[in-house]
Structure 1
Amino acid sequence: MSLNPPDNAQEQAELLQRLQADLIDSYDEELEMEIDDRAFDDPAAARSEAQRRERRAYFQELFRLQGELVKLQDWVVASKHKAVIIFEGRDAAGKGGVIKRITQRLNPRVCRVAALPAPNDRERTQWYFQRYASHLPAGGEIVLFDRSWYNRAGVERVMGFCSDAEYEEFFRTVPEFEKMLVRAGIQVIKYWFSISDEEQHTRFLGRIHDPLKQWKLSPMDLESRRRWEDYTKAKEVMMERTHIAEAPWWVVQADDKKKARLNCMAHLLAQMPYHEVEHAPVTLPARERSEDYARQPVPPQMLVPEIY
């Protein structure tokens, strides 16, 4: 992007300083996310030099991959590609964290997240896939499902929210449903985030003792912890019966959150034949100025108090 040059060198230097400050502010967003991811009893000051180097390397690679995702987004728009990306896994497996990093730099009109609540009374009477179908992408769109139609093979099966007949009908239908999506030109990518028993236990404890994360724990989450083995059996059946050539499952080892994010992002980029799309140079136009225009002051009672 080219900017009209400021009137003098001092203004140009001030502009560059502002741009650098804005860039640093954007990096602070990632730091805030990482602070949210770690326990309060692990202050940054206690980190070793090796940990700090590892942290810098993580952010460097995260920013690089996010830059590639922007290129992917441009290609998706230019080529009218359609993609559905499914994120499944146990509670606290890190699905939300990777979705947040994937979408952070992208246009929400191009790459959007579908995180559907439990079906209401009307939706329970519909064809099972109906409420998901309304969120499918048009040309030039990517839809990330934070949990998906695979709820029926997981939580609904384990918690008894569906009958045996509905469960079996799901497995008869879902391969054909996904093959139909692929025939319609929608790429379907399915990720399962795999964490160990011990890691989920630790993450649940972190949520219990962190007042900023307690909202993430629902009675269903706590019950899923008790039924760990039932969820394991359900997951194994699901993968065995729905791992098809047109839409295979990909397993992300997720005990290490940062590695899981980077590995998933890198793998996702490799699933599409994207390339950098050339854009015409952008020049910021000069603002028109009128001699008879004067900006009106804001009434004091409308101003937000500047307490910071």
Structure 2
Amino acid sequence: MVNTVVAGLDGSAESRAAAEWAAREAKLRDLPLTLVHVWEPVPDPIAQAPLLAAETLQHWSERIPREAAEGLRLRHPGVDVTVEQISGRPGEVLPRVAKDAALLVLGSRGLSGIGGFLVGSVGQMVVAHAEQPVVLVRAGEQAADEHQADPVGIPSAATPFRPVVLGIDTENPHDTVIEFAFDAASRRGTALRVVNGWNPPPYYAYAIPADPELGPELRTNQVAALTEVLRPWQVKFPDVDVTEVCRWGSPAHHIVEASREASLVVVGRRIRRSPVGTHIGPVTHAVLHHSTAPVAVIAHP
């Protein structure tokens, strides 16, 4: 599935929200959208039960993705929507099917009315093993949620996009993550807010109270490092207005705070080949569970 946006669809509210987001993203990128419905085979003893009639199986394997595709075509004219049905385990099938896609979009349940995600086992497995960008979208996410409020305080798809937020580590920046964020902001015609949360090395902990000038000096150095990392990308994307936020403290906390006014949050994940563990990383894991905006996780070496 080269040059396409892929959305996982299982009929749930969160997967429908993900499909809608994926359709909007496909339009921004001028790419087709593929809805992938993964049907997990039912164990034989259950499959033979009389409650699972042929009509029930047909509903889940054919009707849901077909009706979802029809609705998306009506609501997003110009987007080429196709459906692919595959048998297997979703956590294993989705990364493989979307291996060469521009990005893979999944749904995730909201934790509460305030915001945040509840990332299920399938979502965590896909994020941990997919090597293409993966976007998680909360149930109930709407196009208006990504836009600024109008003069009377109501967000609308007719108003400009909210900023894109990029969480970055200046000690280990990666071009793939930075480029995705700049490109997303450029396509949306909005600003990019780059958030860098940092803490001084442990051996500075005792020196800072004794030397009042050491704290400001460390921050100045950190700000300079962030500016240096972003400089070539600002040249490459001159249309993107960049705001740098460099704050002492938990990176995850500062990124989550910034997500409250964001249209999209972009974070990275280092690719690890070990089959054991989730390999998401503590900052990305925290952002996934607490961001109030869709989160794009970009895998990098």
TM-score by length of 1: 0.26
- Relative CO higher for 1 or 2, CA cutoff 8 Å, sep ≥ 6? 1
Q: Which one has a bigger Cα radius of gyration?
A: 1
More strand by share: 2
More helix by share: 1
TM-score by length of 2: 0.26
